[in-house]
Amino acid sequence: MNTSTDPPPAVAKLFSRRVVITVLGSLQILSWGSTFYLPAVLARPIAQDTGWPYAVVVAGLSVGLLVAGAVSPRTGRAIAQHGGRPVLATGSVLLALGLLIIGTAQNYIWYFAGWAALGAGMGAGLYDAAFASLGALYGKAARGAITSVTLFGGFASTVCWPVSAYLVQHFGWRSTCLVYAGLHLVVALPLYIAILPRRSEPKTGAAVPSNLARAALHREERFIFGMLLAVLTVSAAILSMMGAQLITLLQARGLDIKTAVTLGMLIGPSAVGARFIEMLAGHRYHPIWTMIASVALVFVGACLFLVGSLGFAPAIILYAAGNGIGSIAKGTLPLALFGPVRYPALMGRLALPIMIAMALSPYVGAVAFQHGGATWTFALLLGLAFANVTLVAILWALSRRPLHPL
């Protein structure tokens, strides 16, 4: 629930809010493009060059996501206590290290070790850490900043997939990893250090209470937090499952590769467009309504996937729009419900099950596809989407008392 008495965060303001948002958003493009979206382009070249099974190559991402989830609670507590600057800077170093190890790996052990390091960097450098940093900087006024950062992040695949493809074609997959590693060290690390302000003590001289830094929750709050966690975890499972298999599923339903890829390209503009609309109108209503809209759009999209080929384009548009604004709700709803002081640590707590779901759901979807084809997989997607509608209804009922505009 919203804690209106929470004190504002204390920071040393060096750069304007617009500069901070632009830097964080731009670096989210690099961070997502060189981690989560990397295997989409590099997995097949890696398998062809090394002779490793394709499934093993792709499994590296699952390792990274599991490690990211494991480190995220500690990341959230660190941001609550020290601010985002040291955490995001450390994340850049870890991302560079992981890419360096992957790019020079000669066997499975080093390859997965690289993904483990990359996962630690993901836990300290992707949306959850960026959102927590913005919450620590701007308190309840962080909603607009979070939305703006997701607008940048929505272009990660649009920007980095062509870049990765060009680098692989001309220099090979190993050099591609090394180029991204260099960008994290030469571009991202100095920018985080230069742009993000140092965290200073409040004017009263009082430190943040340790129980708040660790995000202590009362009994009623624990129920609300549990439902929020469930909603975000199911949303993450849907996102990861469809992100890994959408093109394959469309081909299985009779589309050729060119048509399937063309339809897949609707995801980026649809997600960013929905986020832009939310950015313009979101300040007028509580973030719970953004979450409600998100799960409703994904549910309708999931229904349309089962209609047939004529429903694929609107299904993808609605699904992508729902996921697009869902990423905003993921950052803004915890802030509205629990206040800015506990927000960074709570974001770290939320990230663990979310990352686990993202790591495991592609495999679950692959099993469904193997046994029942695209129909079973789309039916699984519909079941998850319906479950999330139910969960959000319960969350709304639990949290409606503190609902009011930020």
Q: Supply the DSSP string of 334-388, one letter for each residue.
A: HHHHH-TTTHHHHHHHHHHHHHHHHHHHHHHHHHHHHHHHHHHHHHHHHHHHHHH
Residue 154, SS3 per DSSP? coil
Give the pTM. 0.76
In whole angstroms, what is the distance from residue 49 CA to residue 406 CA?
A: 53
- Encode burial over 56-65: b for 16+ CB neighbours within 10 A, e otherwise: ebbbbbbbbb
Question: Angle formed by the axes of helices 219-252 and 257-264, to 10°?
Answer: 150
Question: Using CA atoms, how far apart are residues 42 and 180, in angstroms rounded to an integer?
Answer: 13
Tokens 């062809």 locate to 48
Phi, psi angles (nearest 5°) of residue 18: -65, -40
Residues with Cβ within 8 Å of 255's Cβ and at least 6 positions away in sequence, in order, are: 263, 309, 312
8 Å CB contact between 318 and 35: no
Instruction: Please name the amino acid found at residue 13.
Output: K
pLDDT for 192:
94
What integer pLDDT is reported at residue 204 of this predicted model?
A: 36
Domain with CATH 1.20.1250.20 in the chain: 17-201, 213-399
Q: Where are the alpha helices (DSSP H) in 10-53?
A: 17-33, 39-50
| Of residues 324, 149, 147, the one with CA closest to residue 235 | 324
Neighbouring C-beta atoms of residue 122, cutoff 10 Å: 32
pLDDT digits (tens, 9 = 90+) for 122-181: 999 998 889 888 888 888 788 788 888 888 887 887 788 788 888 988 999 999 999 999
Q: Which of 24, 275, 57 is nearest to 126 (CA)?
A: 24
CATH superfamily of the 213-399 domain: MFS general substrate transporter like domains (1.20.1250.20)
Q: Say which residue the tokens 């624990």 belong to.
A: 222
CA distance 158 to 183: 18
**Distance of alpha carbon 140 from alpha carbon 339, whole angstroms:** 7
What's the pLDDT score for residue 393? 94
pLDDT score, position 7: 44
Three-state secondary structure call for residue 125: helix
Digitized pLDDT (tens) for each residue of the chain, 406 residues in all: 444 444 444 444 556 888 999 999 999 999 998 998 888 778 878 988 999 887 788 788 889 989 998 898 888 888 888 888 999 999 999 999 999 999 999 998 999 999 999 999 999 999 888 988 888 888 878 878 888 888 888 788 778 878 888 898 899 999 999 999 999 999 999 999 999 887 644 433 434 444 444 557 777 788 899 999 999 999 999 988 887 677 778 878 888 867 877 787 788 788 888 888 887 876 788 889 999 999 999 999 999 999 888 889 999 999 999 998 998 888 889 888 888 888 888 887 888 888 889 888 877 887 888 788 888 989 999 999 999 999 999 999 887 764 444 4
Residue 11, helix vs strand vs coil: strand
Closest among 4, 370, 62 to 237, alpha carbons compared: 62
CA of 259: how far to CAs of 3, 54, 140, in Å? 50, 24, 44
Determine the pLDDT at residue 227: 93
Question: What is the CA angle 111-112-117, rounded to 5?
Answer: 100
pLDDT at 272 (0 to 100): 84
> What pLDDT shows up at residue 384?
96
pLDDT of residue 76: 82
Residue 223 neighbours by CB distance under 10 Å: 15
The topology under which CATH files domain 17-201 is Growth Hormone; Chain: A; (1.20.1250)
Identify the helix (H) or strand (E) that includes residue 272. helix 267-281
Residue 11 pairs in a beta bridge with: 199
The secondary structure of 328-339 as a DSSP string is HHHHHHHHHHH-
Which three-class secondary structure state does DSSP give residue 234? Answer: helix
| pLDDT tens digit sequence for 363-406 | 788 788 878 888 898 999 999 999 999 999 999 988 776 444 44
Phi, psi (deg, nearest 5) at residue 254: 105, 0
Structure tokens at 369: 């596809």
Contacts of 376 (CB under 8 A, 6+ apart): 368, 369
